[in-house]
Amino acid sequence: MLTTGFKLWFGSCAAALSAAVFAGYTSGGTETGPISLGWKGGVGNHVTYVLFVTAAAVFGLLGIIAIAFRDADSESVAEVLGVDTAPPAQTQVGSSIWPVLGALGVATLVIGLVVSSALFVVGLLVLVAVSLEWTMNNWSERATGDPEVNRELRERLLRPIEIPILALVGIGVLVLAMSRVLLASSVNGAVLVAGVVGVCVFGAAFLFSRRPNIPRRVVSTVLIVSCVAVLAAGIVAAATGEREFHQQGGGSGGDHVEVGE
């Protein structure tokens, strides 16, 4: 018996093919062109014809899959598995950071296409990292029937890789951002910025160590806000550009001593 999904998609396929042939004949196609996919003669309006034929192929593919799988009806799935009731199509997966990080990767890639190729590469790397993490998450969720064991498995496998990489990337990005700020500032300004930032970091670390009861939320908020501020300052400084450097001495091997504004 033909399934509903097959009827929907195969019907759409037939309609698209008919439309292609009709459009072909009514837009200047030759006698045999529209019915031979252009092999024997012209098909008329190429845009119309090719798009309808492609749509027909796609609908045909979906129709074939629908009938091959009996519309993936619960009963047919249970029969395939040899059980009375088919398992749920989707198990609970809990919250996940990877979708939003993946989207941020795409966004970085897009900004990179408009602004700089370095950002494009960063976006690409983020996407690769997210894909790997996503895959390992999926793998660990299917490892055993115990979610707690699965979580431990995942952490044991990935944490030794994630933590050093994240630390390296985090430190690298912050150092890069700070360097942009220092290079954009005047000579005295750079000294001042370095001093103030150093005092802030030291002061915050001192405060946190003296008061271990400070809530985790406050500590994480301070850290996140500080990192975002340094990043933003780095982006602004990078956009502004470096201050002018005057070379003292000459020759390629000479010492470079900068003198600022």
Partner 1 sequence: MSSTTFSPAVPNRPRTLVIGSALATSGVLMFFGGLFALYFSRRADAMAWGTEWFPEGAIRLPPGGMNMATMALSAITMAWAVYSVINNDRIHSYLAMAITAVMGVAMLNQTVFYFNDIALPIDHSEATTFLFVIVGAHMAMVLVGVFWLGLLLLRALGGQDTSRNRDLVSAAALYWYAAVAVYMVIWLGIYIAK
Partner 2 sequence: MTETAADTTRTGGVVPTALEAAVTTTDHLRIGRAWLASGALLLVASLVAGLLVSVERMDLTGMAVFGDVDSLFRFWSAYRVGLVLLVVVPVFVGLATAVVPLQVGASSIVFPRAAALGFWVWALGAAFTVAGFVIDGGLGTPGAVSRTDALALTLLGLLMVIGGICCATVCILTTIVAGRTAGMNLSRVPLFAWSVLVAGSIWLVTLPVLAANTVLIYVDLTGRSAVAFGVEDTIWGQLSWAFSHPQVYAFALPLVGIAGDIVPVAARRRHGNHRALLVLTALIGVLSFGAYAQAAFDIGTPIREQAIFVVEAFLIVPLVLLVLVGLVDVLRRGVGSRRTRMPAPLYLSVLSVLFLLDGTVLGALRAVAPLDLLDRSTTGAQFTFTIGAALLAAMAGTLWWGDLIVGRVVPQGFGLASALAVAVGIVLIAVPDTISGFMGLADFTGGDLVGAGNPGSGVDVLNTVALVGSAHLLVGALGWLVTGVLRLRGARSLADPWGGHTLEWSTSPVEVTSESPLLDATVEAGA
Measured CA to CA in angstroms, residue 208 lies from 189, 220, 252 at distances of 28, 11, 48
The Cα–Cα gap between 42 and 49 comes to: 10
Q: Is 8 in the site for partner 2 (CB under 8 A)?
A: yes
The residue count for binding partner 1 (CB under 8 A) is 42
Measured CA to CA in angstroms, residue 182 lies from 27, 84, 194, 210, 215 at distances of 66, 68, 8, 30, 33
Minimum distance, C-beta of residue 206 to partner 1, in the bound complex (Å)? 44
Q: Which of 30, 35, 41, 58 binds partner 2 (CB under 8 A)?
A: 58
Q: Which of 61, 166, 200, 201 binds partner 1 (CB under 8 A)?
A: 61
- The contacts of residue 137 (CB under 8 Å, 6+ apart) are 96, 98, 154
Q: Which of 31, 68, 79, 99 binds partner 2 (CB under 8 A)?
A: 99
Which of these segments, 33-41, 101-109, 168-176, 192-200, binds partner 2 (CB under 8 A)?
Answer: 101-109
* 241 contacts 184 by C-beta, under 8 angstroms: yes
Q: Is 181 in the site for partner 2 (CB under 8 A)?
A: no
Q: Is 37 in the site for partner 2 (CB under 8 A)?
A: no
Measured CA to CA in angstroms, residue 154 lies from 82, 140, 256 at distances of 31, 6, 50
Minimum distance, C-beta of residue 156 to partner 2, in the bound complex (Å)? 14
The Cα–Cα gap between 44 and 53 comes to: 13
Q: Is 12 in the site for partner 2 (CB under 8 A)?
A: yes
The Cα–Cα gap between 261 and 63 comes to: 71
Task: Give the tokens for residue 180.
Answer: 């942009």
Q: Which of 18, 32, 75, 87 binds partner 1 (CB under 8 A)?
A: 87
Q: Is 97 in the site for partner 2 (CB under 8 A)?
A: yes
Task: Give the tokens for residue 106.
Answer: 């795409």
Give the footprint of partner 2 on residues 209-238 (CB under 8 A): 217
Q: Which residue has the tokens 């976006």?
A: 123
Positions in the binding site for partner 2 (CB under 8 A):
3-5, 8-9, 11-12, 15-16, 19, 22-23, 26-28, 45-48, 51-52, 55, 58-59, 62, 66, 71-75, 78, 85-86, 88-90, 92-100, 102-104, 106-107, 110, 113-115, 134, 147-148, 151, 217
